[in-house]
Amino acid sequence: MILGRKLTRRRVVFLIAGVFLTVMLAWSLASFAKSVPTRIYLVPSNSMAPTIKSGDRIGVQARAVPRPERGEIWVFLMPTTTGAPTTTIIKRVIGLPGETIEVRGGKVRIDDKALAEPYLSAPMTYTMSPVKLGADEFFMLGDSRDASQDSHIWGPLPRNHLIGPVTLRYWPLSRAGGF
């Protein structure tokens, strides 16, 4: 007897089937989680504000992605040429391999065409001479342009420094969701 009920053959079959299905579901979810590795990060600064703010918690797809696309937000290792210790940071992909990037008049220009950036809350107050990106280089900028330590200061980012694209914000719950 279980909880005052008589165990019938039918109840035993349902109980075994329920346990089996629960185990199979757990195994399937664990297998899926291993096939799509996600790293979790706490964002320590406002260099990506207003899109991502200090204290946000994000998930990053940490497997090889063929090629970053302009506008995507990525986590990567800070280039060692900056003199800073190896640090994991987050910025937006602005320039792609082979392009020429310039900042003038408060706008980013790619191959001399102004880039539309609706995610910015204010234009840049700095200028930057044209920079030609190599075959495996990307230009990364924070959304809070004047307050961001990014490619306009330390130059192009080599492809081998990329970790993965930001796929979701899971905290705070009021702003949780994908990108």
Q: What residues are labeled active site? A: 47, 91
Residue 144: which of 164, 160, 158, 124 has the closest Cα? 124
Supply the CATH number for residue 66's domain. 2.10.109.10
Q: Quote the domain boundaries for residue 28.
A: 1-35
Give the H or E element holding residue 65. none
> Is residue 28 located within the same domain as residue 86?
no
> Is residue 100 located within the same domain as residue 114?
yes
Phi, psi of 24 (to 5 degrees): -65, -40
Q: Could you give the CA distance from residue 127 to residue 132 in angstroms, rounded to a whole number? A: 16
Using pLDDT thresholds of 50, 70 and 90, give the confidence band for residue 83: low
> Is residue 83 located within the same domain as residue 97?
yes
Higher pLDDT, 34 or 153: 153
pLDDT score of 67 more than 60? yes
In the predicted model, what is the mean pLDDT of residues 72-95?
A: 85
What is the pLDDT, as a whole number, of residue 102? 97
In the predicted model, what is the mean pLDDT of residues 8-32?
A: 72
> Is residue 76 located within the same domain as residue 130?
yes
Using pLDDT thresholds of 50, 70 and 90, give the confidence band for residue 1: very low
Phi, psi of 178 (to 5 degrees): -90, 175
Structural contact between residues 157 and 146, judged by C-beta atoms closer than 8 angstroms: no
> Is residue 30 located within the same domain as residue 51?
no
Mean pLDDT over all residues of the chain?
A: 86
Global pTM reads 0.77
pLDDT score of 13 more than 90? no
> Is residue 44 located within the same domain as residue 100?
yes
Using pLDDT thresholds of 50, 70 and 90, give the confidence band for residue 62: confident
> Is residue 3 located within the same domain as residue 75?
no
> Is residue 28 located within the same domain as residue 70?
no
